[in-house]
Amino acid sequence: MDFLTQVVVFLAFVLAGSVNAIAGGGTVFSFTALAWAGLPLVQANATNATALVPGSLGSALAFRKDLRSQGRVFLILLGPTILGSLLGAFVVANTPEAIFRRIVPFLVLFATFVFASRNFLTRLALQRRAEAVVKAPEDHISPMSLALGCVLQFAIALYGGYFGAGIGILMLTSMSVMGMSNIYRMNALKNPLAIAINGTASLFFIASGRVIWPVAWWAAIGALIGGYVVARIARRLDQDLLRTAVIVAGLVVTVWMFVRL
């Protein structure tokens, strides 16, 4: 990888880190940069997941106070999260490059669709708020709802271990189905679960030797800068404009990947 390509990858991960911190959808930029740089797509996926993990720790720390009262729910959901992520990582690691190359455009298109539907899904995640506040102000979750949440969390973690883009939005929707309505408590639960998904998959990718470390270290630094520094400035940007940019980028990348086939 020449110097110019390294700079492009670094800047893509700076952008991905900042977008993930304030809106989500940064994988569209980071994974695409690695694919453009010529990395085999399975290894690009593994390297991307590993490089983005450090940049997501800050968001979890920011909501740690809201997580303390949800320790029991978190621990229950952690089991299916780890199992689903491991299975997803195992499947993608053993998917032939030629097959994964044909699947990737659909994954990027799905992630773009999820991101484009973010406002709708967020409203869906909060529409039960009035009823929930009347019945259980502290987001009481019944055993049946918790069981359903475990099933949904396993499915989301499976997808997350396989590719990972859009898992945060999917988890917020899942939590609304469980009966949660407080967006701060939902984010407090979502962030460490997202780290568990990406971190578990990354550990598997590392153990199986599919992470390209010279690129991963450089990319991780870019994601950290984007997540902790650039995001503070980017928060001043118009959120609708930023969301539109991510959606357009996702559609362009999808077309580009289909053309590559």
Give the helix, strand, coil percentages of the chain, each rounded to 5: 85, 0, 15
Q: Identify the pLDDT of residue 107.
A: 87
For residue 202, name the pLDDT band (cuts at 50, 70, 90).
very high
Q: How many angstroms separate the CA atoms of 251 and 148, rounded? A: 33
Confidence check: pLDDT of 167 > 70: yes
For residue 45, name the pLDDT band (cuts at 50, 70, 90).
very high
Q: Identify the pLDDT of residue 233.
A: 65
For residue 205, name the pLDDT band (cuts at 50, 70, 90).
very high
Q: How many angstroms separate the CA atoms of 13 and 257, rounded? A: 19
Cβ-Cβ contacts under 8 Å for 128 (sequence gap 6 or more)? 176, 179, 181
H or E segment to which residue 59 belongs: helix 57-62
Name the residue type at position 116.
A
* For range 210-233, the mean pLDDT: 83
Q: Identify the pLDDT of residue 66.
A: 60
Tokens of 78: 């952690």
First to last CA, the chain: 23
* For range 59-82, the mean pLDDT: 76
Q: How many angstroms separate the CA atoms of 183 and 194, rounded? A: 16
Confidence check: pLDDT of 48 > 80: yes
For residue 203, name the pLDDT band (cuts at 50, 70, 90).
very high
Cβ–Cβ under 8 Å, residues 227 and 21: yes
Q: How many angstroms separate the CA atoms of 6 and 11, rounded? A: 9
* DSSP string for residues in 108-142: HHHHHHHHHTHHHHHHHHHTTHHHHHHH-TT----
Q: Identify the pLDDT of residue 145.
A: 82
Tokens of 193: 């679960």
Confidence check: pLDDT of 160 > 60: yes
Tokens of 148: 């359903």
Tokens of 249: 């980028």
Cβ–Cβ under 8 Å, residues 259 and 47: no
* For range 204-230, the mean pLDDT: 87
Give this prediction's pTM.
0.79
Q: Identify the pLDDT of residue 131.
A: 52
- Domain ranges in the chain are 3-260
For residue 156, name the pLDDT band (cuts at 50, 70, 90).
very high
Average confidence score pLDDT of the chain: 81
